[in-house]
Amino acid sequence: MAKKVVTFGEIMLRFVTPQYQRFSQATSYNASYGGGEANVAVSLANYGVDVSFVTRLPENEIADACIMELRKHNVDTKKIVKGGDRIGTYYLETGSVARASKVVYDRAYSAFSEIKPGMVNWEEVLEGADAFHWTGITPAVSQGAADACLEAIKVANKLGVTVTTDLNYRKNLWKYGKTGAEIMPELVAGCDIVLGNEEDAAMMLDIHPDGVDVTGGHVEAEAYRGVSQKIMAKFPRVKKVITTLRGSINANHNSWSGVLYDGKTLYEAPTYQITHIVDRVGGGDSFMGGLIYGLLAYEGDDQKALNFATAASCLKHTIHGDYNLASIAEVEKLMGGDASGRVSR
């Protein structure tokens, strides 16, 4: 598929406690790399899309190893800018049953948090791109990152590049004196496709859905028609609003689906019961990666694009690490109704 996508955000070194251990128990950690926009880039590269990931990393061996990992997954890293002193990190304690997972960030003064407008040549980076993707994590990191993201969105708008975002509210990140509600509306105003859940919309756009109880284990798709209409009314450029529907029975068992609203029709994906979650971190990113691929590959068929995104993300929950390594064939097999897990030989 001759399509080009650019994603922009921070990639971090990820440390995970082994075997569901608590932080207080762990004497070693499993290390890998991940971050919202990098995860989307890996998904798209895995589906054969020409994708470039833009970030800022220091000049050291850890950053070099990170770039090597991205290149291994066929992500273009040529537009990564160098500078700063450290790569951000995060620590994950994987929950089980009634005990929720926990994340601790250590990304203050990271190379990416100190990015500023003018450090990336967006005219060059976005030339010939079909889509530009960012998430609400990026402007939460620092004012400079928020300004650089806005700079990119404005260039994308000028060049006619479709802008996609995952609102991704993270309460533990907004620490530099601004709230999501103060920063995000100007950025979202330049977007064509918006993904977000009820908390994202409420905390960053001051838009509230009615009749939603995510703690009850079941989420009704119809409840999001109203919030999607409110987002489109507030941000006229937005053409599609997508919401993931996660019902959390416990840390290991979630129901999973999604809806897409195009201003007229509310499309709903099948609901999957993910009964033995291996790793849910990156689940939303795998949905976004699947959605961008679906919208590009199945242009004009929003239902199929939504179904691909939902199935892709369902499979990600069975894979360790931030990245979704499921193939197109595996996603389409699940889309077709085959969830048997039978050995393929």
pLDDT tens per residue, range 47-69: 999 999 999 999 999 999 999 99
Domain assignment of residue 76, given as a range:
4-335
Decide the pairing of beta strands 266-268 and 272-274: unpaired
Nearest to 234 by CA among 165, 184, 268: 184
Token pair, residue 321, equals 């690490």
| Residue 344 forms part of a structural domain | no
Q: Give the CATH number of the domain where residue 57 resides.
A: 3.40.1190.20
Give CA–CA dist 40/34, Å, rounded: 10
Per the domain annotation, does 223 fall within a domain? yes
For residue 340, is it within any domain? no
pLDDT score recorded for residue 202: 87
Q: State how far Cα 118 lies from the chain centre.
A: 25
pTM (predicted TM-score):
0.93
How many domains does the chain fold into? 1
H or E element, residue 92: strand 89-93
Helix, strand, coil distribution of the chain in percent, nearest 5: 35, 20, 40
Instruction: Point out which residues pair with 242 in neighbouring strands.
Output: 195, 260
Q: Which residues pair with 245 in a beta bridge?
A: 257
Pick the range with the lowest mean pLDDT from 11-20, 52-61, 222-231.
222-231
> Does residue 342 lie in a domain region?
no
* pLDDT confidence of residue 345: 44
Render pLDDT for 244-281 as a digit per residue (tens, 0 to 9): 998 889 989 999 999 999 999 999 999 999 999 998 88
- Considering only CA atoms, which of 99, 178, 104 is closest in space to residue 136? 178
